[in-house]
């Protein structure tokens, strides 16, 4: 056993230091980015709705696209539904798959029925394991021209491995940060999200790849911090839960939201938990929140505001302009106990 003495930080451990700047007004801040991949490029605001079965829905994809944002569809749609959707899908939609043989087979069948392959996301809770890395490489070898996102990992070594050996274009970063995740409580494992992003962004950019910060965003300010830490994309789950575009159960103004490794999800898709496994997600109720558009505007507005504090005229410049300060308290919480 050894102890790494460096303190690793989360979004709640820092604030972005306000700077004097000649930054333009909020309205002229450019939040869109252009990314070039092997065979295509993408332009938009690089925020991605997470592939939870409640959040990564067809209707979320349409709403996100209206704001120039992306969606990672959940992997539980039927093949026919996916084929139908991707015939007219907005650009910037990810087809998600796991690493089981049946997931590979479904993608093969899918690829035969669509003209252009969408962006692909190979999603596994822990991509530090060899089998996961092998499966990710298998997808890359089969579909050399696809834009490939894969994860999740939290260390620069694994970022290098997935990019150099696995041919991944966008490495998804985050273990245990999610709002409905209990991995840290169940297994004691994880990595504070801000430090993971800072360290992994450096590793990915050094070898020409990109990262997506996945999990842990609790408010628009955290999205700004993730971009300032070096994330190229930021994935958001819980913040989008409960909106009209989500699929799931609603009653008495509440929406049922659960992690994809929760007992709830395991019951729904695998007939329950296998004897040797513990659930690593929770099931909660969130208020029904109406159309997602208002929340997306808040997030975009938060980024524009952060840009003016940072002195950045575009999202791309956030890391270059940012100094984080470590804090003991990020905000005044005096009225929070009165909410809800
Ligand atoms: P959020 O934006 O809600 O904080 O985080 C969303 C992310 O949490 C997802 O994209 C996914 O990586 C992760 N996640 C979703 N469900 C579970 C779960 O049941 N267990 C764990 N460990 N992580 C989850």
Closest CA to ligand 1's atom 23: 181
pLDDT digits (tens, 9 = 90+) for 58-67: 999 999 999 9
Which atom of ligand 1 is least distant from the CA of 183? 22
Determine the Cα angle at 191 with ends 185 and 196, to 5°.
155
pTM of the model: 0.97
Q: Is 40 a catalytic residue?
A: no
CA of 311 to the centre of ligand 1 (A): 32
pLDDT digits (tens, 9 = 90+) for 236-281: 999 999 999 999 999 999 999 999 999 999 999 999 988 888 999 9
Closest CA to ligand 1's atom 24: 181
pLDDT at residue 339 above 80? no
pLDDT (0 to 100) of residue 23? 64
pLDDT at residue 108 above 70? yes
pLDDT (0 to 100) of residue 337? 63
pLDDT digits (tens, 9 = 90+) for 214-235: 999 999 999 999 999 999 999 9
Mutate to test the pocket of ligand 1, among 180, 187, 277 (most ligand atoms within 8 A of CB): 180
pLDDT at residue 13 above 50? yes
Percent of the chain past pLDDT 90, that is, above it, reads: 91
pLDDT digits (tens, 9 = 90+) for 296-316: 999 999 999 999 999 999 999
Q: Is residue 125 in contact with ligand 1, taking CB distance under 6 Å?
A: yes
Choose the catalytic residue: 181, 212, 246, 322. 181
């Amino acid at each position: 056993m050894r102890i790494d003495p460096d303190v690793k930080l989360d979004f709640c451990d820092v604030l972005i230091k306000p700077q004097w700047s000649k930054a333009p007004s909020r309205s002229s801040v450019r939040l869109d980015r252009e990314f070039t991949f092997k065979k295509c490029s993408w332009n938009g605001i690089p925020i991605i709705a997470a592939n939870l079965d409640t959040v990564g829905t067809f209707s979320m994809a349409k709403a996100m696209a209206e704001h120039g944002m992306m969606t990672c569809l959940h992997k539980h749609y039927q093949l026919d539904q996916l084929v139908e959707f991707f015939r007219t899908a907005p650009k910037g939609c990810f087809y998600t798959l796991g690493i089981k043989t049946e997931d590979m087979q479904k993608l093969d069948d899918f690829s035969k029925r669509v003209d252009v392959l969408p962006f692909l996301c190979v999603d596994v809770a822990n991509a530090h394991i060899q089998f996961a890395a092998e499966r990710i490489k298998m997808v890359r070898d089969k579909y050399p021209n696809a834009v490939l996102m894969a994860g999740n990992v939290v260390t620069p070594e694994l970022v290098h491995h997935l990019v150099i050996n696995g041919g991944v274009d966008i490495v998804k970063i985050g273990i245990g940060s999610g709002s409905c995740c209990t991995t840290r409580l169940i297994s004691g494992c994880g990595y504070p999200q801000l430090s993971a992003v800072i360290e992994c962004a450096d590793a990915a950019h050094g070898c020409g790849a990109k990262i997506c910060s996945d999990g842990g965003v609790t408010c628009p300010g955290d999205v700004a911090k993730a971009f300032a830490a070096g994330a190229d994309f930021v994935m958001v789950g819980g913040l989008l839960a409960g909106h009209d575009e989500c699929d799931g159960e609603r009653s008495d103004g509440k929406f049922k939201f659960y992690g994809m490794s929760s007992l709830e999800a395991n019951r729904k898709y695998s007939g329950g938990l296998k004897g040797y496994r513990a659930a690593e997600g929770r099931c909660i109720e969130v208020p029904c929140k109406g159309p997602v558009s208002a929340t997306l505007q808040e997030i975009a507005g938060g980024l524009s505001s952060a840009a003016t504090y940072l002195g950045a005229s575009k999202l791309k410049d956030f890391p270059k302009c940012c100094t984080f300060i470590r804090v003991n308290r990020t905000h005044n919480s005096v009225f929070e106990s009165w909410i809800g």
